[in-house]
Amino acid sequence: MYIVTGGAGFIGANLVAALNRRGDSNILVVDDLKQGDKFLNLRDLSIGDYMDLTEFRDHLRAGHFRNARVRAIFHQGACSDTMEYDGRYMMDNNFTYSKELFHFSLEQNIPFVYASSAATYGASTTFAEHPDNEKPLNVYGYSKLLFDRYVQHLLPRATSAVAGLRYFNVYGPREDHKGRMASMIHQMHHQIRTHGVVKLFTGSGGYGDGEQRRDFVHVEDAVKVNLFLADSGTIQGIFNVGTGKSRSFNDVARALIASLGQGTIEYVQMPESLRAKYQSFTEADITQLRSVGYDAPFDSLEEGIATFVRVKADATP
């Protein structure tokens, strides 16, 4: 059995889909369906069981999974809202819950691959997995960083794979439910399809209009990294998950316009409240990921967006 927490969410559901393509359907999906429309991410997938997050944590604490023969845990469940300011909720959901699951994996010798975030870097301009670069700007980033450090402290006790994945800007199918927290590529696609115009920020941080840069990675590449590390059985560490190449928001808009065959770009002022916390540049240093043997290529921005647009078109009734 595989356990996928956050399995009705964006990356989690894509992981379940990838396991299905490998012929695996004995999957326990754990999630919180207060937002009921997330079920749409599971509707076309085959799973063995579903548990609500609260029920799962109760069962975990009670030891009900000790003889479950779990092949791997993909811990994608978290509060990913960077604008959530309830620190107690964030720390319980992203830190305490993660600790409970991590200790279970250590006790049972189960490969444990979990979602960290590039938000751990925050104000940094260097994106390599090193404490000098870890400067989170919000409690979400801090919750992820604190768990990364907790994991690193206990790694000498681990006898199976343990990998934290610092996702950069992941985009792709199955993120319709995320609303304002959906990827910028998803939001730009919606703007073009709805209004024919994509709105980008005017210059900031020394970058021109729309020239702020991000490392955009297609969700299928993020899923491949998850599976590689879990299948390894022994690889341990914290790893950036990005393409290693930043691209501008102008590049994204142009690629979307080319794929959709419509759309124009408009530049708008960045809200004053966002300026102090806005990252004008991110780019994953993937040296560490490559050093443990992950040598698969990442989709270019143009390839990934073409796939994204095609899948969105296929999904439209």
Express each pLDDT in 62-83 by its tens digit: 999 988 899 999 999 876 555 5
- Give me the chain's average pLDDT, please: 92
Distance CA 31, CA 147 (A): 20
pLDDT of residue 81: 59
110-120 residue pLDDT tens: 999 999 999 99
Q: Which domain holds residue 122?
A: 2-171+217-242+284-298
Measured torsion, CA atoms of residues 55, 57, 61, 63, in degrees rounded to the nearest 10: 70
pLDDT of residue 93: 80
Residue 286's contacts (CB-CB under 8 Å, 6 or more residues apart) are: 239, 240, 241, 242, 243, 244
Using 50, 70 and 90 to split pLDDT, how confident is the model at 198? very high
Distance CA 113, CA 288 (A): 16
Is the same domain home to 122 and 144?
A: yes
Domain of 205: which CATH number? 3.90.25.10
Contact call for residues 178 and 186 (beta carbons, < 8 A): yes
251-305 residue pLDDT tens: 999 999 999 999 999 999 998 877 777 888 999 999 999 999 999 999 999 999 9
Is the same domain home to 119 and 221?
A: yes
pLDDT of residue 146: 94
Place of tokens 């490998």: 22
Is the same domain home to 35 and 17?
A: yes
Is the same domain home to 124 and 222?
A: yes
Is the same domain home to 255 and 272?
A: yes
Left, alpha or beta for 6 (phi > 0: left; psi -120 to 50: alpha)?
left
Residue 75's contacts (CB-CB under 8 Å, 6 or more residues apart) are: 5, 6, 98, 101, 102, 112, 113, 114, 115
Mean pLDDT of 85-109: 87
Contact call for residues 18 and 27 (beta carbons, < 8 A): no
Using 50, 70 and 90 to split pLDDT, how confident is the model at 308? very high
C-alpha distance across the termini of the chain, in Å: 34
pLDDT of residue 1: 95
Is the same domain home to 36 and 142?
A: yes
Is the same domain home to 114 and 208?
A: no
Contact call for residues 227 and 241 (beta carbons, < 8 A): no
Is the same domain home to 225 and 207?
A: no
pTM above threshold 0.85 = yes
Is the same domain home to 294 and 232?
A: yes
pLDDT of residue 83: 57
What does DSSP say about strands 264-268 and 49-52: parallel, antiparallel, or unpaired? unpaired
Is the same domain home to 308 and 272?
A: yes
Using 50, 70 and 90 to split pLDDT, how confident is the model at 96? very high
> In the chain, what percentage of residues exceed pLDDT 70?
97
Is the same domain home to 105 and 199?
A: no
Q: Is the pLDDT of residue 316 over 80?
A: no
pLDDT of residue 79: 64
Distance CA 145, CA 164 (A): 10
Distance CA 152, CA 19 (A): 28
Catalytic residue numbers read: 140, 178
Domain of 76: which CATH number? 3.40.50.720
CA-based nearest residue to 72, from 104, 18, 99, 110 = 110
Using 50, 70 and 90 to split pLDDT, how confident is the model at 313? confident
Q: Is the pLDDT of residue 314 over 90?
A: no
> Total domain count for the chain?
2
pLDDT of residue 223: 98
Is the same domain home to 93 and 47?
A: yes
pLDDT of residue 256: 97
